[in-house]
């Protein structure tokens, strides 16, 4: 399933984000007559509403393939048969098809706007229910994640005083604290693991504040069954501040939360 460059390409705007033509009907009808489970391979550059395959009981897997090159068919086959253990993460939010009716194509606002019905854009501001969230991904093995950090306390003046040199680039920020996580392969196959670290600011989703935002990621390669790997995320001034509606980088007093998977570490300004 999917789309091609006759529908999306440079200089060509889409007016819908649903699967075109009769593709949703085809999924439903194939599921109705299939004796076994179905895997849907999606070829697409931009995001699509995949509600139909997600909600069809016999669809047991979804593989997003992008626009693969000459070895794409071989790569897809190796992944479907388990010779390749994927560790990809969805690079954008998959919105429901009705999203295009909620946001005018002339509205460039990222933040939600109650006056015109804009529910916000991207995982940082979207207030609706996504079909699939940014960062979603599966593997042929299973991992457990533990974070042992106690709550972290950082003086508010340390952050505020560092903001002046930290407006344009995160590379100028020095680490203020480290978050350490342990990844354990609790499955039966070796595989990569992609760790995504987010920060949730105080008053998330209020007064124009983002709901959360990605501050770091790393890929750990070929983790064997039973093996444990430690990963450390440095937390910087840049991570513990955000750009407000006036385009200025600022910080707020209160509890900030560093989030990995569903594990959380509280960071307090004192």
Q: What is the pLDDT of residue 170?
A: 60
Burial 190-215 (b: 16+ CB within 10 A, else e): ebbbebbbbbbbbeebeeebbbbbeb
pLDDT tens by residue, 29-52: 999 999 999 999 999 999 999 999
pLDDT tens by residue, 133-177: 999 999 999 999 999 888 888 888 888 777 765 555 565 677 888
d(CA 152, CA 150) in angstroms, rounded, equals 6
Strand partners, 237: none
Query: Residue 112 — pLDDT band, cuts 50, 70, 90?
Result: very high
Q: What is the pLDDT of residue 168?
A: 55
User: What average pLDDT score do residues 203-228 get?
Assistant: 95
d(CA 51, CA 120) in angstroms, rounded, equals 20
CB-based contact 118:109 (threshold 8 Å) = yes
Residue limits of CATH 2.60.40.10 in the chain:
143-269
Residue written as token pair 């939010």? 93
Supply 59's token pair: 């669809």
Neighbours of 151 (CB within 10 A): 11
- Given a cut of 90, whether residue 60 has pLDDT beyond it is yes
Q: What is the pLDDT of residue 3?
A: 96
The domain defined by 143-269 folds into: Immunoglobulin-like (2.60.40)
d(CA 259, CA 200) in angstroms, rounded, equals 7
Supply 191's token pair: 């595989």
**Whole-prediction pTM:** 0.91
């Amino acid at each position: 399933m999917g789309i091609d460059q006759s529908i999306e390409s440079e200089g060509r705007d889409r007016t819908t984000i649903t699967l075109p033509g009769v593709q949703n009907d085809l999924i439903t009808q194939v599921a109705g007559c299939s004796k076994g489970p179905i895997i849907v391979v999606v070829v697409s550059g931009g995001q699509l509403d995949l509600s139909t395959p997600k909600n069809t009981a016999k669809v047991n897997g979804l593989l997003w393939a992008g626009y693969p090159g000459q070895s794409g068919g071989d790569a897809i086959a190796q992944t479907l048969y388990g010779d390749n253990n994927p560790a990809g993460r969805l690079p954008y939010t998959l919105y429901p098809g009705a999203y295009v009716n909620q946001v005018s194509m002339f509205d460039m606002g990222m933040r939600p706007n109650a006056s015109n019905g804009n529910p916000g854009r991207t995982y940082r501001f979207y207030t609706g229910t996504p079909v699939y969230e940014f960062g979603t991904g599966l593997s042929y093995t299973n991992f457990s994640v533990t974070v042992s950090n106690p709550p972290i306390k950082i003086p508010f003046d340390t952050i505020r005083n560092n903001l002046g040199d930290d407006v344009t680039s995160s590379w100028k920020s020095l680490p203020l604290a480290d978050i350490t996580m342990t990844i354990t392969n609790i499955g039966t196959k070796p595989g990569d693991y992609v760790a995504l670290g987010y920060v949730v600011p105080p008053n998330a989703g209020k007064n124009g504040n983002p709901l959360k935002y990605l501050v770091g990621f790393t890929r750990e390669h070929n983790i064997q069954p039973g093996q444990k790997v430690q990963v450390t995320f440095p937390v910087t001034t840049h991570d513990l501040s955000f750009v407000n509606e006036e385009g200025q980088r600022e910080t707020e007093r209160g509890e900030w939360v560093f989030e990995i998977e569903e594990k959380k570490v509280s960071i307090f300004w004192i």
